[in-house]
């Protein structure tokens, strides 16, 4: 199918984006990589009258290192993250997730900001951001807000972004020598959205965040299961798997029913365990 008619503006600076968002309200949509937005237009699931292309805005580009964090501009593409030595060294969970996102052609265009703002519950990056407790930097015309990943995802394709705001950057804590992580997902074919997946991070001994995706309308942190592993290490795996039922309460979808998802969540946790154990 073809998209309905729409206007197009290539914005050169953030002020112009905010002007256009003010003028057009809900009728306007931000265009980043277009890898989710354009298919949704072609399928007539969305009918914006104006697309505001943000790709030329320098403020939204790049991957930057500070003393304790890595700041990734919203326009950093999946392939830029996949190939970045800074990401593989300091945010290795994100580097590990990248090859699972779609296919190279889509990763060449798709952006981290687009993926997080789109908030598909089966997407990899929202779960990675949740496991790493990343901070989302949201810019409006007159203010900047910093929102933790746990508060950013409100539901199916719904986020904390307010009218007139855009996601400008994402800040990840830098991994130190004691950082452990694991990423694992199950998909019917490589490159498909996952049936279920797990992004796990242990920044230091005694801490562990398990973020599942593909189980609910947003990434879900399995805190009870994580506590079992922190307390008892490998010996806690059975109790941790039992806790997943309470942590996740998975909903079924076209791929699998709730019981199958729960079983697969346990399988992913067992697979992740060896990578996490030394610090859990």
Task: State how far the Cα of 112 lies from the Cα of 75, in Å rounded to an integer.
Answer: 7
Q: Is the dihedral of CA 29, 149, 175, 125 positive or negative?
A: negative
**Would you say 264 and 195 are in contact if contact means Cβ atoms under 8 Å apart?**
yes
Minimum separation from the CB atom of position 233 to ligand FAD (A): 32
Determine contact, residues 240/212, Cβ cutoff 8 Å. no
Among 21, 96, 123, 230, indicate the residue that binds ligand FAD (CB under 6 A). Answer: 123
What is the total count of residues that contact ligand FAD (CB under 6 A)? 29
CB-CB contact of 202 with 276 (8 Å): yes
Specify burial of residue 75 (Cβ count, 10 A radius: 0-12, 13-18, 19+). Answer: buried
Burial class of residue 274 in the structure, from the number of CB atoms within 10 Å of its CB (0-12 exposed, 13-18 middle, 19+ buried): exposed
Helix (H, G, I), strand (E, B) or coil at 95: helix
Binding test (CB under 6 A) with ligand FAD, winner from 3, 50, 71, 106: 106
Alpha helix locations (H) across 58-177? 78-83, 85-90, 92-97, 104-109, 112-118, 124-131, 149-152
- 111 contributes a contact to ligand FAD by CB under 6 A: yes
> Is residue 250 a contact point for ligand FAD (CB under 6 A)?
no
The reply to whether 244 sits near ligand FAD by the rule CB under 6 A is: no
Selected from 41, 76, 127, 167, the binder of ligand FAD by CB under 6 A is 167
Query: Toward ligand FAD, which CB reaches closer, 134 or 161?
Result: 161
Query: Does 79 interact with ligand FAD (rule: CB under 6 A)?
Result: no
| Other CB atoms within 10 A of residue 110 CB | 22
The interface mask with ligand FAD, positions 27-66, x = CB under 6 A, is --xxxxxxxxx-x---------------------------
Nearer to ligand FAD, 124 or 247 (CB): 124
43/235 with CB nearer ligand FAD? 43
**Under the rule (CB under 6 A), what is the footprint of ligand FAD?**
29-37, 39, 74, 101-102, 106, 109-111, 113-115, 117-118, 123-125, 161, 166-167, 193
């Amino acid at each position: 199918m073809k998209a309905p008619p729409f206007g197009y503006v290539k914005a050169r600076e953030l002020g112009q984006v905010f002007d256009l968002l003010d003028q057009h309200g809900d009728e306007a949509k931000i265009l980043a990589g277009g890898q989710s937005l354009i298919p949704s237009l072609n399928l007539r699931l969305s009918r914006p009258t104006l697309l505001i292309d943000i790709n030329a805005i320098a403020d939204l580009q790049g991957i930057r290192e500070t003393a304790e964090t890595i700041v990734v501009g919203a326009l950093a593409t999946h392939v830029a993250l996949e190939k970045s030595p800074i990401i593989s060294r300091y945010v290795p969970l994100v580097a590990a997730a990248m090859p699972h996102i779609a296919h190279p052609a889509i990763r060449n265009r798709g952006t981290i900001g687009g993926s997080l703002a789109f908030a598909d519950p089966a997407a990899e990056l929202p779960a990675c951001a949740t496991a790493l407790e990343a901070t989302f930097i949201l810019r409006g015309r007159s203010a900047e807000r910093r929102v933790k990943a746990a508060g950013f995802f409100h539901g199916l394709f719904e986020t904390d972004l307010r009218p007139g705001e855009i996601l400008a950057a994402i800040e990840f804590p830098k991994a130190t020598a004691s950082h452990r992580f694991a990423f694992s997902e199950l998909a019917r074919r490589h490159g498909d959205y996952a049936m279920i997946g797990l992004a796990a991070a242990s920044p230091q001994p005694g801490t562990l965040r398990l973020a599942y995706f593909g189980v609910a309308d947003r990434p879900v942190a399995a805190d009870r299961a994580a506590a079992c592993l922190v307390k008892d290490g490998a010996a806690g795996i059975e109790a941790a798997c039992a806790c997943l039922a309470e942590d996740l309460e998975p909903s079924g979808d076209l791929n699998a029913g709730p019981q199958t998802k729960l079983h697969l969540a346990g399988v992913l946790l067992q697979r992740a365990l060896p990578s996490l154990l030394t610090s859990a």
